[in-house]
């Protein structure tokens, strides 16, 4: 590596280690890149594949036209065609697979804004995850140069590491120490692998546990926990604990939450029936409706609530609902995600 490449790489590695927000880290990278490569404008964005658009984390210069293009579905489709959604080397304007005049970006957005040259590259992690995109714009059509392109190509992997949210997501998941499986839930309701943990059959796409997780997030919970019958529960009555961690934070990407599965929860002496009753108490059902739903007597519901209040040291029915919700000691009733 030449001295310029070494210096820029060292700067990017330092930025990647800074304990700052994702947007601050992206802005620092643009500033560092600007000391090595000449440009009038630059932007680092994230891509939401579900909304088919990109959203800026940080930028410098007059980037309004660029952002309008990238946030449009037509722009996203063209960038897909160009190839920046795949792990390729940086592309100069002259590297495009079509003449610039036949593109959407240049005649409609970038030439009218006064730009003449560009460099773009997708930011990919070593395991192939697309975590961002860098665009550099110049007024001079002769820039960026091939040397600029090669320099940026040496640091894109480090830049991807710097804007990779999976680092903080994995750290948050490790707070649930006994988690044995987990997935990522997207804003669109899709399920993605969570690096470092296997998937679980109760967390498959469309599963009731994920519907319940989404309902907890929709209710405004940053963290939620509830119980779910184990796959063999019909034979054993075994239960699993499901933990939900909102991971949206400041990001504009499609990742919504981490959903984790842990075994053998401490039930505090509560029976399966009492956990069912508690699910309805959390959902604010009156005793009569609980009894009808579970096909038991109203007295059996009242007895279950009274015993649960004793086991959880709850001073009232409201206090019981709060403690059951906080400790995840309930089986959500049908219609709220799960059907125990």
Cβ-in-10-Å burial (0-12, 13-18, 19+) of 57 comes to: buried
* Cα→Cα distances 334→5, 113, 212, 299, Å: 59, 55, 10, 22
pLDDT at position 63 is 97
> Does 93 lie in the same domain as 231?
no
Q: Looking at 264, 294, 327, which one is the last position of a domain? A: 264
- My answer on whether 100 and 173 are in the same domain is no
CATH of the domain at 277: 1.10.10.10
Residue given tokens 């643009």 in the structure block? 30
Q: Could you tell me which of 31, 57, 17, 30 has the C-alpha nearest to residue 162?
A: 17
**CATH number of the CATH domain containing 219:** 3.30.450
Residues 221, 275: one domain?
A: no
Give the distance from CA 216 to its chain's centroid: 16
User: Which pLDDT value is given to residue 53?
Assistant: 79
Please give the model's pTM, rounded to 2 decimal places: 0.84
**Same domain, residue pair 246 and 274:** no
22 and 70 share one domain: yes
Alpha carbon 251 to chain centroid distance? 8
Q: Which helix (H) or strand (E) holds 303?
A: helix 298-311
What would the pLDDT profile of 192-216 be if each residue is shown by its tens digit? 999 999 999 999 999 999 999 999 9
Domain termination site, one of 147, 164, 181: 164
Lookup result for tokens 């490569």: 37
Q: What is residue 340's predicted lDDT score, i.e. its pLDDT?
A: 38
Q: What is the spatial distance between Cα 259 and Cα 201, in angstroms, rounded to a whole number?
A: 12
Same domain, 129 and 77: yes
Question: Please, what's the largest Cα pairwise distance for the chain?
Answer: 83
Same domain, 75 and 150: yes
Do 243 and 311 reside in the same domain of the chain? no
Residues 77 and 160 in one domain: yes
Nearest partner of 70 among 125, 27, 108, 114, judged by Cα: 108
**Please, what is the angle between helix 317-327 and helix 272-282, to 10°?**
110
Q: Could you give the count of Cα atoms lying within 13 Å of 114 in the half-sphere of its Cβ?
A: 8
Cis amide linkage into residue 227, ω under 30° from 0: no
196's CB contacts (< 8 A; 6+ apart) are 170, 173
> Are residue 149 and residue 289 in the same domain, yes or no?
no
Alpha carbons 255 and 252: distance in angstroms, whole number: 8
Q: Cβ(312)–Cβ(306) under 8 Å? A: no
The stretches in the chain having pLDDT less than 70 are 233-236, 250-251, 335-340
User: pLDDT digit string (tens) for 226-278?
Assistant: 999 998 755 567 899 999 999 987 667 899 999 999 998 899 999 999 999 99
Q: Tell me the two tokens of residue 103.
A: 């593109």
CATH assignment of the domain containing 103 = 3.30.450.40
Domain around 250: 165-264
Residues 139 and 82 in one domain: yes
Number of structural domains found in the chain: 3
pLDDT at 337: 43
Question: What's the pLDDT at 140?
Answer: 97
- 334 vs 119: CA distance, rounded Å: 53
Beta bridge partners of 60: 42
């Amino acid at each position: 590596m030449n001295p310029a490449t070494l210096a820029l790489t060292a700067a990017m590695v330092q930025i990647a280690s800074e304990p700052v927000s994702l947007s601050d880290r992206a802005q620092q990278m643009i500033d560092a890149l600007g000391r090595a490569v000449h440009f009038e404008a630059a932007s680092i964005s994230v891509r939401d594949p579900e909304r088919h658009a990109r959203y800026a984390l940080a930028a410098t210069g007059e980037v309004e036209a660029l952002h309008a293009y990238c946030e449009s579905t037509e722009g996203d489709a063209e960038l897909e065609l160009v190839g920046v959604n795949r792990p390729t080397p940086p592309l100069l304007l002259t590297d495009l697979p079509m003449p610039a005049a036949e593109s959407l970006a240049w005649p409609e957005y970038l030439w009218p804004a006064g730009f003449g040259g560009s460099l773009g590259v997708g930011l990919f992690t070593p395991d192939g995850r697309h975590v961002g995109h860098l665009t550099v714009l110049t007024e001079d059509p002769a820039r960026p140069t091939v040397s600029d392109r090669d320099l940026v190509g040496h640091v894109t992997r480090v830049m991807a590491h710097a804007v990779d949210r999976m680092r903080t997501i994995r750290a948050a998941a490790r707070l649930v120490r006994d988690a044995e499986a987990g997935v990522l839930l997207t804003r669109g309701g899709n399920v993605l692998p969570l690096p470092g943990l296997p998937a679980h059959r109760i967390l498959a796409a469309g599963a009731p546990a994920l519907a319940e997780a989404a309902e907890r997030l929709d209710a405004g919970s940053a963290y939620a926990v509830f119980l779910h019958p184990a796959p063999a529960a019909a034979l054993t009555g075994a239960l699993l604990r499901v933990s939900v961690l909102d991971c949206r934070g400041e990001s504009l990407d499609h990742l919504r939450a981490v959903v984790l599965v842990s075994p053998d929860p401490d039930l505090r002496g509560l029976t399966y029936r009492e956990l069912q009753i508690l699910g309805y108490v959390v959902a604010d059902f009156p005793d009569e409706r609980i009894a009808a739903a579970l096909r038991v007597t109203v007295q059996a519901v009242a007895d279950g609530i009274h015993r649960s209040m004793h086991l959880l040291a709850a001073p009232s029915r409201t206090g019981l609902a709060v403690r059951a919700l906080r400790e995840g000691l309930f089986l959500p009733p049908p219609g709220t995600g799960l059907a125990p």
